[in-house]
Amino acid sequence: MTLGRDLAELTAGVDRLYRDGLTEASELNSEGLIPVAVADVAPRPLRDWAEALDALHALHARIASEATDAHAAGWLDEMTGSVISLARMFSGERIGFAQRLKDQLRVVTTVIPDTVLDGYRAELRDALDALGYRTGDLAGDVRRWEADRRVPEAEVIARLAALSREAQERSRRLVLDIGDDWIEPVGVHDKPYSAYCDYPGRRLWLNLEFDYTEAALKHLATHEAFPGHLVHLARREALVARGEMSLEGAQVVTNSASSPLFEGIADNGIDLLDWIDGPEDVAGIALQRLRSALRCNAAWMVFEQGKSIEDAANAIADGSYQDAHKTQRRLAFLSHELRAPFLYAYWCGDDAVRRFLDRTRGRDRRAVVTELYDRMHTPATLQAALVD
């Protein structure tokens, strides 16, 4: 596990250099490159970006000969390459948005095509028809359904907690049992996110400035807690502590090759819990995926087509079945240099894990869970996993 330890220490060193160079105080800046680490990692002392890049390239050159197997070689190659690209950007090198998607997130997606968007709309149409929302105007039906299912703000936290308890019980049986570990939902305001898993503090911060339907809260309970980020990080913490996962698995590295799978496992939480109970859940999942895809396309408009964030929000608002103000609020990451491509981590990760779950429906469930939670993955390494 020497390669993994070296990568972890170098990534921590890059994080320290990055933080030292930040001049503006903000919530996102305060998280640095590594917002969470579930084990102590001593940052490699690095004088400057030239030394950091030399050390990373030297590590990269060792992977082919020192990696223990093909999976480790693929994972370490992509993750080290990702950190190299991040370090180059932090050093002042200008890297285009499309190149950042390839080099940092390690995804090949650019613009998500209408064929995919129309597929989500067809799923949404069928589900709303089954629920009795069948005027023929999909936009109007979505808005009426969301208005009817909106949870009053005064009840949101209690409802999220109740859904999280049910998700916890299902996760114990069907995914991983992490004992009584719990993440307490707490309402907040004026945040750049709708929800956030504060793993060290064991809090699920929910932005009460947004409206939430029952389906949206169910998604957040599974994404942020069970079997999403809380379970995933608890598992990685336990594996690293026992020496069963190498040290780089202890780090959450923002906008890196690990990000799509971190978000993708969480986004597929309802499926992993066998909790798709009917058309309400089908509609919620389809709408979540549609909006996630359109946010990626908005990011592309901003960074590859030169649109303003406001214009990009206006361009996708109607297709998202949201007003332009709410849509723009969901694009907050686009204003932050490090996190600008991060919206792609959600959709690309969700798509990668969904394809993996579809492909492995007939496989032993424990093997599928072990592959997802006990090994670090990128979309490419997951595509190669459990292939007969």
On whether residue 181 sits in a domain, the answer given is no
pLDDT digits (tens, 9 = 90+) for 368-379: 999 999 999 999
Residue range 288-314: average pLDDT?
98
Band the pLDDT of 387: cuts 50, 70, 90.
confident
Q: How far apart are CA 288 and CA 347, in angstroms?
A: 10
Cα–Cα distance between 132 and 193 in angstroms, integer?
Answer: 32
What is the distance between the alpha carbons of residues 247 and 34, in angstroms, rounded to a whole number?
14
Average pLDDT score over residue span 30-35: 95
| Residue 68 predicted with pLDDT over 70 | yes
pLDDT of residue 337: 93
pLDDT tens for 317-337 read 999 999 999 999 999 999 999
pLDDT digits (tens, 9 = 90+) for 172-200: 999 999 999 999 999 999 998 999 999 99
Residue 229, in any domain of the structure: no
Q: What is the predicted pLDDT for the residue at 388?
A: 60
CB 231 within 8 A of CB 214: no
347 close to 296: Cβ distance less than 8 angstroms: yes
pLDDT digits (tens, 9 = 90+) for 276-290: 999 999 999 999 999
Q: What is the pLDDT of residues 90-124, one digit of tens each?
A: 999 999 999 999 999 999 999 999 999 999 999 99
Exposure of 370 in the CB half-sphere (CA atoms within 13 A): 7
Mean pLDDT, to the nearest integer, of 345-358?
98
Distance CA(83)–CA(255), nearest Å, equals 9
Average pLDDT for residues 79-83, to the nearest whole number? 99
pLDDT of 386 higher than 90 = no
Confidence (pLDDT) at 26: 83
Residue 234 Cα distances to 164, 179, 265, 367, angstroms: 16, 10, 14, 19
Give me 112's structure tokens.
Answer: 């998500």
- DSSP alpha helix (H) spans, 175-278: 214-220, 229-241, 259-267, 269-272
List the beta bridge partners of residue 207: 188
CB 120 within 8 A of CB 290: yes
Which residue from 127, 158, 159 is spatially nearest to 142, judged by alpha carbons? 127
Which residues, in sequence order, are bridge partners of residue 150? 213
Residue 289 lies in a domain: no
Q: Is pLDDT of 1 > 80?
A: no
The answer to whether residue 53 sits within a structural domain is yes
Residues 21-38: what's their mean pLDDT?
A: 90
222/225 Cα distance (integer angstroms): 5
Residue 345, pLDDT above cutoff 90 = yes
227 closest CA partner among 369, 48, 335: 369
**257 found inside a domain:** no
pLDDT band at residue 73 under the 50/70/90 scheme: very high
Tell me the sheet residues that pair with 323.
Answer: none
What's the CA gap between 119 and 385, in Å, rounded?
26
Contacts (Cβ under 8 Å, ≥6 apart) of 379:
106, 107, 260, 261, 264, 348, 349, 352
Q: Which helix (H) or strand (E) covers residue 62, if one does?
A: helix 49-66
Angle of the 309-320 helix axis to the 279-304 helix axis, nearest 10: 160
In this predicted structure, what is the pLDDT of residue 28?
80
339: tokens are: 């996190």
pLDDT in tens, 115-131: 999 999 999 999 999 99
pLDDT tops 90 at residue 23: no
Assess if residue 291 is contained within a domain.
Answer: no
State which residues form the domain around 83. 2-105
**Residues 247 and 41: beta-carbon distance below 8 Å:** yes
pLDDT band at 27 (very low <50, low <70, confident <90, very high): confident
Residue 29 domain flag: yes
| CB-based contact 129:142 (threshold 8 Å) | no
Per-residue pLDDT tens for 208-237? 999 999 999 999 999 999 999 999 999 999
In the chain, the amino acid numbered 9 is E
Average pLDDT, the chain: 97
The DSSP H or E segment spanning 184 is: strand 184-188
Q: How many CA atoms lie within 13 A of 306 on its CB side?
A: 0
Is there a domain that residue 113 lies in? no
pLDDT, average across residues 159-180: 98
Average pLDDT over residues 35-42: 98
Q: 119 by DSSP, 3-state: which?
A: helix
Q: Could you give the number of structural domains in the chain?
A: 1
